[in-house]
Amino acid sequence: MTGPNLTSPPPRSRRPATASLSAFILVALACLSLSPSSVLAHTAEVGEATDHNHMRLAAEGANNMGFMGVELDAARAGDVEQQQAEVVVDEEEQQYEPAFVGVIRDIIGRQDDASYATLTNNEVGTQSITAGKTLHYRFENSSVWGNLSETTPGLPEINGRKVLSRESMDRELKRRELELEGEGGGEEDVGEDEDGNVVLKKRATTRQVYVSMNTCNQPDINGTTTQEAPPQLTLYISTSDKNKAPGPDAESTLQSTHTLSSGFASATVNATSNVYIGVSAPSPLPDGFTGDWQFQVAASIDASFHQYNEPKSANSFVYLVDTDTNSALFVTDNLTLSNPGDDDYERWMRAGNPFQLFAYSTNMTAIKGMERSYCGLLNAWNEEPSSQISGMTTRGLGNKPKEQFYVQGLNGSTPYFAFPVMYGNSTAAGSGVVGGGGQVWAPVNFTTKADGNCQVIFNLTFCEEVAYAVPSNPNRYNLTTLVDLYDQYAEKHYQNFNYSLQQIPCNTTNTAQYSLAKTCDDCAHDYKNWLCAVTIPRCEDFSAPDDWLQPRNIAQPFANGTRLADTDFGRDPLSNATLMDRAYANSSRNAIIDELVRPGPYKEVLPCEDLCYSLIQSCPASFQFACPVMGRGLERSYGNRNGNEDGTVTCSYLGAVYYVNAGASLMLGGGLGGGVVVARSVVVAVATVGWLVVGGWSGL
């Protein structure tokens, strides 16, 4: 670059006016005696003079440009026009130093040897890169000290990976407001005291800059390698003007190095001025791969543009509810602890589909090496044949807002990965949006069923808490008619119970009530939970080997007409009788399953025994409810939770999901952070009552 524009008004000197005029005349006469080449040489030297102003561009300043220029004496602070023209004279070299307000030093100074692209706050740079190449970017001083971005409307009570209370959100907004007001020239900054109150503190001399990167596409496998994925790209970051081209050949002490992990990298640096970024592709490209990489890189003073949420415990952010042969049902963790009617509760229920779920076969090579990259997963998802239906629900633990995902078009008996993701900040994405690069959570592993006679049902009208696979026959019932069959059957039997409950004096004095601990509402609630669980059994493949599963309907043919071989029948482990001779194995729990659905052989996840116990405790003794005992039908009618640490569903209860079994606790937002929600103990029972006819005792 050339030096400062010598046709501009002359710099304001620090010497008296007379001395300035004399000096100007002498310099002009000297210039007339110089050859043209000498003038050019002198001009070049001026352009290379070092910056002694140490400009700090703040959030507000002259001409509404979003920053301010050189910090001047208080006596001249009001003279904006003179500030814009002032040039400080270097006393040793007697050279002009440009100090134009709002202009970055490196733009008017020497051109760097490295070729780079400029990034602004929350702007994404998307490029392709070949093996062995390094590309450079610069996040400039004006962006480092620019204004924080306006908050983009997004999800309620969520900030990245953690749920914020309303009080925390208000403190954050106040902090931002005071920070913007205070950046005009004071020496104080905004912070919080020990009690969380927003206070002014001494201004920091550095600012945090978040640099992040995603791999969106990568070299393809040409079929001649056993390596699952190509090597990862590398991100280099420098905050030193001595290393404006960070990369594999630069001084390692002047940069930080971040090899991408599964297509993702994120780093935070404390910057005082320009931040220099390098992206390097490995070389040589291993045998068996062809093509190049495509990536996104971004820098932000607000938050990381791309995010990957590490699992913080055994709890996940999304849980598997159940699968069948061609579909799977998932649900998020509780998204808020707010109660119905609260603002956050209602906002979540109106959120629509804030998250998405990308499901891929575990042998799909296209995502290998990009499992933590939103753009990488999105590109691969567009090539998948599966589809998804999602929406908000309050079904399950705590009855708090959650999002559920019904993924269809899957292959039977196939292992899959399901990646929870969020598009941008859920309402906007791309450049200019804080967090606009999207988020990815740790995947959920699952395998679809094989036999084709179990169907996932959910969103029932009466048994609204039912959501799992049930015995089915695709040749006789589609999803809608199957849901209606089971739901209406349960509702019909509940009506008989309700007539009896109406005969109980529920709204009476304490001394006249049937219990001081339980009410008629408790009885109705626990009876409905029990009834829905026993009339709508949870189905598993007959080929499933788990010992807590109960064989059912073994003599009936499958939907395709085939039957079990004699060797598949086996014997009862307690009596040693053949399963064909045992009523529990040769029929279903309820007659309508054998008579109408006709699913063929399957295995049942038995209802949990504590559902029966809760029913007996909650209802009047006059109903004569009773549960079977061990050795006399309990083990063939009910299962137990067993306290499995791996979260396997060993018995059926409403709201059950894999990996949150054993009735334990659910961390709010396994990927979001927060408090603890204790699961209500609701389990299934086999009650024996003379007047109540429910098809649930055929195995006793």
For all residues of the chain together, what is the average pLDDT? 77
Quote the pTM value. 0.74
pLDDT of residue 60: 36
Domain boundaries, the chain: 17-108, 116-147+201-305, 452-641+683-700
Q: How confident is the model at residue 358 (pLDDT cuts 50, 70, 90)?
A: very high
Degrees to nearest 5, angle at CA 478 with 474 and 479: 115
Q: Between 520-535 and 479-501, two packed helices, what is the crossing angle to 10 degrees? A: 150
Distance CA 559, CA 595 (A): 13
In 3D, which of 550, 541, 557, 414 has the Cα closest to residue 471? Answer: 541
Helices (H), 502-540: 520-535
Span 70-99, average pLDDT? 38
**Structure confidence by residue, pLDDT tens digits, 411-444:** 999 999 999 999 998 888 999 999 999 999 999 9
- Give the whole-angstrom CA distance, residue 500 versus residue 503: 5
Place of tokens 């204790």: 678
Residue 188 confidence (pLDDT) above 70: no
CB atoms within 10 A of CB 446: 21
Residue with tokens 């990815």: 440
CB atoms within 10 A of CB 38: 11
- CATH 2.60.120.380 is right for the domain spanning 116-147+201-305: yes
pLDDT in tens, 546-598: 989 999 998 888 888 888 876 666 666 656 566 666 677 788 989 999 999 99
Q: Tens digit of pLDDT for each residue in 630-659?
A: 888 888 899 988 755 667 899 999 999 887
How would residue 383 be classed by pLDDT, with cut points 50, 70 and 90? Answer: confident
Q: What is the pLDDT of residues 24-50, one digit of tens each?
A: 444 444 444 444 444 333 333 333 333
What's the whole-number mean pLDDT along residues 134-148?
A: 96
Strands 116-119 and 134-139: parallel
Percent of the chain with pLDDT over 90: 54
Residue found under tokens 């009617």: 341
pLDDT at 236: 99
Strands (E), 409-516: 415-422, 439-441, 444-447, 454-457, 468-471
Q: Does the pLDDT of residue 17 top 50, yes or no? A: no
| Residue 205 pLDDT class (50, 70, 90 cuts) | confident
Q: Characterise 438 by phi-psi region: left (phi > 0), alpha (psi -120 to 50), beta (else).
A: left
- Stated length of the chain: 700
130, pLDDT greater than 80: yes
